[in-house]
């Protein structure tokens, strides 16, 4: 149950009960720290072993579509997919788009645990950073409840931005927050940072987004989780909200990599001396770490504040060929 809620249990393999022990197959390597938080009454260990398939028949799209597509078309089939709650999202290359429905239905036959199979249609764009999806198989919907690190998130992937690939980053930031902090998440989307923080820490999070549908989903998530901290969901342009409210905060999260640079003066105007800024950006080139360090240092110093320490610079994920979504954690001085 716990592994399943954490989105870690692999339903395609059978659970084994052997010599008084239960062996649970997981979709990825799991560290004990990850699960010991949630399971305290049994002794746990991790390792590798063989599990029998629950699935009969072909296990991959390539196996299932052999003979229906040419070998060059088979080579273009998606090898991975995004898992958002009970929805699977495929990215089908243009060259084999005419087979989209066949690919989606075949995928669904292999992975019966999903209720819906969608294909990405176009790129993430616009102020709300959303994209369209095409139904390939199953129920016609884009809304679901997604679980990451035990946080239950109401998500509608067509109406508000959400990426299941940022779970480590959401959790990393929540672990840095200390009891009693006030945090502003300037571009919260459906609120994954806010929910991770308020589940783990007695902190106060002001979660702002310009997209009212994103904030509606965040409000729904508030009732899905047991929170120790509190969250104020706000529909607003972050610039106006910061300008119109007297704030002095410990931490600002700026996960809007295509536009955050324009809001650095707003973030710097509300951070306490010694407060932390988490700044996200898309950076390419051979030395993205030093490019980002120089860029954010300049942006902060232009506001009249100083950089006390650049505590972390890290690649969060690949965003395009030779480009990364990067984060800089910066402690701000006077």
Ligand X SMILES: C[S@@+](CC[C@H](N)C(=O)[O-])C[C@H]1O[C@@H](n2cnc3c(N)ncnc32)[C@H](O)[C@@H]1O
Question: Where along the sequence are the contacts to ligand X (CB under 6 A)?
Answer: 127-129, 160-162, 166, 187-189, 192-193, 208-211, 214, 237-239, 255-256, 259
Whichever of 55 and 213 has its CB closer to ligand X, that residue is 213
Q: Taking the complex as a whole, how short is the minimal distance between the CB of residue 109 and ligand X, in angstroms?
A: 31
Strand order in the sheet with 323-332: 230-235, 204-209, 182-185, 249-254, 271-284, 323-332, 307-320
Whichever of 205 and 307 has its CB closer to ligand X, that residue is 205
Q: Taking the complex as a whole, how short is the minimal distance between the CB of residue 6 and ligand X, in angstroms?
A: 18
- Bridge-based pairing of strands 116-125 and 323-332 is unpaired
Q: How far apart are CA 187 and CA 197, in angstroms?
A: 15
| Residues ≥6 apart with Cβ < 8 Å to 126 | none
Asked if residues 241 and 234 have their Cβ atoms less than 8 Å apart, the reply is yes
Q: How far apart are CA 267 and CA 328, in angstroms?
A: 14
Q: Taking the complex as a whole, how short is the minimal distance between the CB of residue 260 and ligand X, in angstroms?
A: 9
Q: Taking the complex as a whole, how short is the minimal distance between the CB of residue 305 and ligand X, in angstroms?
A: 21
Whichever of 181 and 209 has its CB closer to ligand X, that residue is 209
- 284-314 in b/e form (b: 16+ CB < 10 A) is eeeebeebbbebbeebbeeeebebeebeebe
Whichever of 214 and 277 has its CB closer to ligand X, that residue is 214
Whichever of 242 and 313 has its CB closer to ligand X, that residue is 242
Q: Taking the complex as a whole, how short is the minimal distance between the CB of residue 144 and ligand X, in angstroms?
A: 15
Please name every residue paired with 145 in a beta bridge, in sequence order, or none if there are none.
154
Whichever of 13 and 162 has its CB closer to ligand X, that residue is 162
Q: Taking the complex as a whole, how short is the minimal distance between the CB of residue 99 and ligand X, in angstroms?
A: 31
């Amino acid at each position: 149950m716990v592994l399943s809620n954490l989105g870690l249990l692999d339903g395609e393999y059978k659970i084994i009960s052997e010599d008084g022990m239960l062996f649970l197959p997981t979709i990825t390597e799991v560290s004990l720290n990850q699960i010991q938080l949630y399971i305290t009454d049994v002794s746990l260990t991790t390792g590798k072993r063989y599990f029998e398939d629950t699935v009969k028949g072909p296990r991959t799209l390539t196996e299932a579509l052999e003979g229906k597509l040419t070998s060059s078309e088979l080579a273009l089939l998606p090898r991975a997919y995004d898992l958002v709650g009970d929805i699977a999202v495929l990215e089908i290359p243009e060259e084999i788009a005419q087979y989209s429905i066949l690919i989606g239905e075949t995928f669904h036959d292999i992975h019966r645990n999903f209720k819906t199979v969608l294909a990405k249609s176009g790129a993430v764009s616009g102020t709300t950073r959303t994209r369209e999806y095409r139904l390939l198989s199953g129920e016609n919907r884009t809304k679901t409840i997604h679980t990451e690190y035990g946080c239950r998130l109401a998500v509608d992937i067509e109406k508000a931005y959400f990426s299941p690939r940022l779970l480590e980053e959401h959790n990393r930031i929540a672990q840095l927050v200390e009891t009693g902090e006030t945090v502003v998440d300037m571009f919260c989307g459906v609120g994954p940072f806010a929910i991770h923080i308020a589940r783990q820490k007695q902190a106060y999070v002001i979660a702002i987004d310009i997209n009212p549908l994103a904030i509606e989903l965040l409000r729904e998530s508030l009732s899905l989780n047991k929170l120790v901290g509190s969250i104020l969901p706000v529909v607003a342009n972050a610039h106006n909200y910061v300008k119109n409210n007297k704030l002095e905060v410990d931490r600002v999260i700026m996960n809007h990599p295509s536009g955050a640079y324009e809001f650095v003066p707003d973030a710097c105007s509300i951070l306490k001396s010694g407060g932390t800024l988490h700044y996200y950006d898309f950076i390419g080139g051979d030395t993205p770490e030093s490019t980002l360090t120089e860029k954010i240092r300049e942006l902060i110093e232009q506001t009249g504040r100083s950089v006390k320490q650049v505590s972390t610079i890290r690649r969060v994920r690949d965003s395009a060929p030779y480009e990364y979504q990067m984060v800089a954690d910066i402690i701000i001085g006077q």
